[in-house]
Amino acid sequence: MFEAEATADVFLMTQPFSAPAEQSVEAKLIEAVLNGEQDCFARLYEMYAPMVHGILLARVPRAEVDDLVQDIFLHALRKLHTLRNAGAFGGWLAMITRNRAMDFYRSSRETVEVTEKTAVAKSPNRIAMEILDLIRSLPEAYRETLVLRFVEGMTGPEIASRTGLTAASVRVNLHRGVKMLREKMGVMSEPPTVAGG
């Protein structure tokens, strides 16, 4: 938890200080929340919950994701006053989410493995879970972008604006990730070769 905060602070310090000409919706909402209008945070939650869900789904077992989404938003609400540039809210939240996912594995690795198997066995859509497992086996940069694109249904520009990544990075991650996923799915769908045949 503390590491997540520290890294998020470092992220804020290294972010370019470039606010848009007019105040964004996020900035207005954050200002309102900091002025005591706690209900405005619900709007931020609605806007960013799919992104947080997607980033977590690319890293942690599905059964844990919903609780972690709640935890991350509560943590963000507590630490909102430390956010210096309201325009960087998406990137800040994404960084908190990634760090929280790492902390999750660090703190409860053994429990996770049992839960993962149970979750897969109970999953209503086994094919989807299998494809998700393939995506999770890809490099980190690709898996997050692919989950946000295919699971959460966000477009490339939406992913870029929500996560704070550049559009070029997202585009590259999408194309390379899909290419690698196709290769992995092709290997999976190929019939097993008969030895000596």
Partner 1 sequence: MDNNYLWDRSGEIDPDIQQLEETLGALRYQPQPLRIPTSLQIRRRRSFYPLLAIAAAIALVAIALGLWFAFKQHQVTTPLDVRQNAQPAPKQIEKELPQPKREPEQAALNPGANPVRSQKRHREPTHALLARSKVRAPAPPPLTPAELAEKEQVLVALRLVSAKLNVAQRKAQGLPAPNPIRNQHKIG
Where does this chain bind partner 1 (CB under 8 A)? 14, 16-19, 33-36, 38, 41-42, 45-46, 49-50, 53-54, 57, 62, 66, 69-70, 73-74, 77-78, 80-81, 85, 124-125, 127-129, 131-132, 140-141, 147, 149-153, 155-157, 164-166, 168-169, 171, 173-175, 178, 181-182
Of 18 and 193, CB closest to partner 1: 18
CA distances from 111 to 63, 77, 105, 106, 117 (A): 12, 28, 9, 11, 10
- In angstroms, the CA 77 to CA 37 distance is 12
Instruction: Rank residues 112 and 129 by Cβ distance to partner 1 and give the closer one.
Output: 129
User: Which residue, 104 or 143, has its beta carbon nearer to partner 1?
Assistant: 143
Alpha helices, DSSP H, located in the chain: 2-14, 25-34, 40-57, 62-78, 89-107, 109-122, 126-136, 140-146, 156-163, 167-189
C-alpha to C-alpha distance for 37 and 165, rounded to whole angstroms? 29
Residue among 4 and 160 whose Cβ is closer to partner 1 = 160
Q: How far is the CB of 196 from partner 1 (least distance, A)?
A: 34
Minimum Å gap between C-beta 3 and partner 1 is 19
Indicate the residue among 13 and 194 with the shorter CB distance to partner 1.
13
Instruction: Tell the smallest beta-carbon distance from residue 25 to partner 1 (Å).
Output: 18
Sign of CA dihedral 183, 188, 190, 194: positive
Least Å distance between CB 160 and partner 1? 10
Structure-block tokens of residue 25: 């919706």
Rounded to the nearest whole angstrom, what is the least distance from the CB of residue 42 to partner 1 in the complex? 6
